[in-house]
Amino acid sequence: MAVQIRLAEREDSGTVEGIVRDAFALYLERMDSRPAPLLADYSKLIDQDHVSVAIDGADVLGALVAYRRGDNLHVETVAVSPAAQGRRIGRLLMAFAESCAREQGLEAVELYTNAVMTENLPFYEKLGYGIVGEGMEDGFRRIFFRKAV
């Protein structure tokens, strides 16, 4: 079965939290505090229709947290289950975000990554995202990206 994306449902909350926890685990020893995605209230975000999930049959493989912020779609979190990494799920979720932004008539997709998550930099750059800034936000050193859609 092909991977599909749908809005997350309330019963997906625990699975989404687990995927995010597992996907971000490798960064914990590099950081002074838990990364922002590990602090999020996924039940609330799901209730606000800000979370989409990549599924293969009944299996949730990844999650995207995105919402409109001004004239942009802001991607807060992209997480793929370690067991599903290498299957292009992250690319699929980002393409979905870009499609959503276009459908809403928005100018761009924006996002950030923590500066210690260096593996993410080439991923976003290969997808056409340009670095538009770097700085401290919410106690984290972040690198900000943007891509016009």
Gap between the terminal Cα atoms of the chain: 29
**24 touches 77 (CB < 8 A):** no
**Which range marks the domain in which residue 15 is found?**
4-148
In terms of Cβ atoms closer than 10 Å to its own Cβ (0-12, 13-18, 19+), residue 90 is: buried
How many C-beta atoms surround the C-beta of residue 49 within 10 A? 10
Q: What is the pLDDT of residues 74-117, one digit of tens each?
A: 999 999 999 999 999 999 999 999 999 999 999 999 999 999 99
Q: How many domains does the chain have?
A: 1
**43 touches 10 (CB < 8 A):** yes
CATH code for position 14: 3.40.630.30
The Cα 47–Cα 27 span in angstroms is: 28
Residue of 124, 134, 128 lying closest to 148 (CA atoms): 128
**112 touches 69 (CB < 8 A):** no
Residue of 126, 123, 145 lying closest to 134 (CA atoms): 145
**149 touches 98 (CB < 8 A):** yes
**pTM for the structure as a whole:** 0.95
The Cα 95–Cα 80 span in angstroms is: 14
The Cα 112–Cα 67 span in angstroms is: 14
pLDDT per position in the chain (149 positions), as tens? 699 999 999 999 999 999 999 999 999 998 888 899 999 999 999 999 999 999 999 999 999 999 999 999 999 999 999 999 999 999 999 999 999 999 999 999 999 999 999 999 999 999 999 999 999 998 899 999 999 99
- Six-digit token string for 9: 């449902």
